Structure 1
């Protein structure tokens, strides 16, 4: 049985890689504070460099994202059906962070109303960014073993628990704008020059896990928390950064010092993530 895969642009998957492994990417939409009424799609044609430049060239710049519509998913499903796919596995952003999985479900309902013979299996990643890609890679591995879509999706939902994501924010500003800390904590933290560290919890929501006074200290704390005091090490990690290769390299240096033989990949995150973290964010996705 031919199986197809769909994810959203919050996965940070590269368009060329998505094409290579046969994944349809449904884009989220984006609006900018300096461009009233203009709506962008976070697709392969989106200019990520220009977006990041806005943080330094536009005063109080903010970006906002919106989940894809059910029709966006419906179109992706139809494309796969035309390619002969009989089962579709959809891996989405955490339901604790976005309503994207609801759009994916409604898109499937639209497909069923057309009486299209295809099974769609939804997988809530309960995470974000490249954790979604890691799930798809695991799905492709299971597919090669001869498993069918329903069983693959079941195992992927179980596999979600093997991920851990810690994020070092550049400042408290974006946590405050997102309503995740109080005004009092924001003022105090700003005065103390604190940089918050968050973790994606079991419900797929972002919560404060600690703080640091500088980037290197924050990276060290993330490695310490990830490894539970350097006693438990992941089999692979993805360094996610907000257009700051220096921070990514500094994290990689510490990883190679403390985590022996771990597979490391680096990825600049797109708008879906950085709109909520700000630029210069650095994060670690670990798979155990």
Structure 2
């Protein structure tokens, strides 16, 4: 069966997927003061981070319109999947669902499934890779939908950022009750909980925070050999390699992938942020 996978631009797609017509990225909008861009293939991370550093205003994102998703669903592929960042963090999921309804109103019924990643960044990538694996097994659409929802619910997301202000000012930390201000080099270790952001710990300094995050991951993920370790970083390859080593020195993962963040993830992670999903 033929398939197409649509993702919003919070997802970091591996290089081999970027030129593959079975994959399409629907971009979010990014703005820093008067500077407005689409998070597409023209995104320049260094330029964007410079704008963020220079602006007194907090950067913001705008989710894609339902029409953009509807257009992405226009394909001869028999199975279509859309993966979005957590519905608790963005309106992207709702737009993808509305886009599916618009498609069906105009073109009739089609096998489309929208996945709320309950994560972001490489969390979406995890779901993409799993969908490809399930499709290559030749499973029926209904069985793939069932398995991908179960996979999503068993996925773990963690992150440590140098700066939490973008998340805070954009209202993405409302569920975090005991968050320590990111001053005096205190780095909270954060995680996803059914799409919401929660705090799992804190350390003084990034090195200790990465070490503590690795400890938490090892405590909570018991079947590492069956999981892919994915790490995204915002202009911080050394930190990504550090967390990889801290984890792979202790357990063996099925596979490991390190990527740099796209626009939306760069905005929220800020310069130096590291995100891990397993």
What TM-score, normalized to structure 2? Answer: 0.88
Q: How does 1:139-218 map to 2 (within 5 A)?
A: 139-179=131-171, 180=173, 189-202=181-194, 204-218=195-209
Instruction: Name the CA distance, whole Å, in 2 between partners of 1:190 and 1:100.
Output: 28
Distance 1:175 1:87, change over 3 A: closer
CA distance 1:96–1:170, shift in 2 (3 Å): same
| 1:61 Cα deviation after fit | 5.8
Give the match's secondary structure for 1:163.
Answer: coil
Shift of 1:167: 0.6
SS in 2 for 1:209: strand
Decide whether aligned partners of structure 1 residues 52 and 41 sit closer, same or farther in structure 2, where only a CA change above 3 A counts. Answer: same
CA distance in 1, matches of 2:45, 2:163: 21
Contact 2:26/2:64 (8 A) holds in 1: yes
2:210 corresponds, among 209, 219, 229, to 219
Q: Which residue of 2 aligns with 1:96?
A: 88
Q: Does 2:38 align with 1:41?
A: yes
CA contact (8 A) 1:52 1:243 kept: no
Residue 250 of structure 1: which of 230, 233, 242 is its match? 242
Separation in 2 of the partners of 1:64 and 1:154?
34
Q: Does 1:8 align with 2:5?
A: no
C-alpha deviation, 1:175, in angstroms: 4.5
Aligned CA RMSD, in angstroms, stands at 2.6
* 1:229-283 CA-partner distances (Å, limit 9, x unpaired): 7865353211111111121122223223223355221111122123223211012
Bigger shift: residues 137-146 or 226-235:
226-235
Residue in structure 1 matched with residue 66 of structure 2 by the alignment? 70
Give the TM-score normalised by structure 1. 0.85
Q: Does 1:228 align with 2:219?
A: yes
Is contact 1:15-1:44 (8 Å) kept? no
Mind listing any 5+ residue stretches in structure 1 that lack a counterpart?
none
Which range moves more in the overlay, 100-109 or 131-140?
Answer: 131-140
Name the CA distance, whole Å, in 1 between partners of 2:219 and 2:109.
47
Structure (1/2) with the larger helix percentage: 1
2:30 aligned residue? 30
DSSP 3-state at the match of 1:208: strand
How many residue pairs get aligned? The number is 275
Unaligned runs of 5+ in 2: none
Alpha-carbon spacing, 1:14–1:30, altered in 2? closer, same or farther (3 Å): farther
- Please identify the structure whose Cα radius of gyration is greater: 1
